[in-house]
Amino acid sequence: MTPAAWDGDDYQSRFDALAEAGTDVHGEATFVRSFSPASVLDAGCGTGRLAIELARHGIEVVGADVDASMLATARRQAPELTWVQADLAELDLGRSFSVVVMAGNVPLFTPPGTQAALVTGVARHVAPGGLLVAGFSLHRGYALGDYDAHAAATGLVLVERHATWDRAPCVDGGDYAVSVHRRAPATAGE
């Protein structure tokens, strides 16, 4: 099933307007950079907001998204970066990354019922010792407990959870969560 179509230029223009008004539109990238990753898969990259900012800081990035319009805007903004058009549920790049990040409610925009496959698809790209980072709104059809279960089924363990990208503490009944799951490091002989 194909997720809803987007207008990449329209989506990007909203962030451009925020940036011009002085709003920091790179909170997610700052959060990811705090882990000092060598490589990042921006999963559900949209117009490349995170990937482009991370690349600007010298991090090797790949952006993947199913939406052609979003990717066209990303490619126009940063033709030198690698952009992959694919359903994350079926993605297999044949490599892994220090961090895989899903910013901007990605699991809420995958077709209903495909969240487990989505998490499996992105988790297969998390390197041993690497992280899966995801921020999405709560009470909108995908529960944190389900996300944790889907992540656990791929061998990932929850290591951090915050209410915001600048690490505000979670509160009961909060409406947003940023979750960090880790894959165990490889042991000798693996």
Ligand X SMILES: C[S@@+](CC[C@H](N)C(=O)[O-])C[C@H]1O[C@@H](n2cnc3c(N)ncnc32)[C@H](O)[C@@H]1O
Binding region for ligand X (CB under 6 A): 3, 6, 44-46, 49, 65-67, 70, 87-89, 103-106, 109-110, 118
Closest to ligand X by CB, 2 or 187: 2
Q: How far is CA 59 from CA 32, 45, 140, 168, in A?
A: 10, 15, 32, 25
Closest to ligand X by CB, 44 or 130: 44
Tokens of 119: 């998490």
Closest to ligand X by CB, 167 or 184: 167
Closest to ligand X by CB, 35 or 109: 109
Tokens of 34: 């705090």
Rounded CA separation 29/188 (Å): 32
Q: Minimal distance in Å, beta carbon 183 to ligand X?
A: 21
Query: Which residues are CB-contacts of 59 (< 8 A; sequence separation ≥ 6)?
Result: 33, 37, 38, 39, 40
Q: Minimal distance in Å, beta carbon 165 to ligand X?
A: 10
Query: Which residues are CB-contacts of 6 (< 8 A; sequence separation ≥ 6)?
Result: 46, 67, 69, 70
Q: Minimal distance in Å, beta carbon 120 to ligand X?
A: 11
Q: Minimal distance in Å, beta carbon 25 to ligand X?
A: 9
Asked if residue 154 lies in contact with residue 119, where contact means CB atoms within 8 angstroms, the answer is yes
Could you give the angle at which helices 144-152 and 115-123 cross, rounded to 10 degrees?
Answer: 40
Closest to ligand X by CB, 15 or 129: 15
Q: Minimal distance in Å, beta carbon 64 to ligand X?
A: 7
Closest to ligand X by CB, 14 or 167: 14
Q: Minimal distance in Å, beta carbon 85 to ligand X?
A: 8
b/e per residue 46-64 (b: at least 16 CB within 10 A)? bbbbbbbbbbeeebebbbb
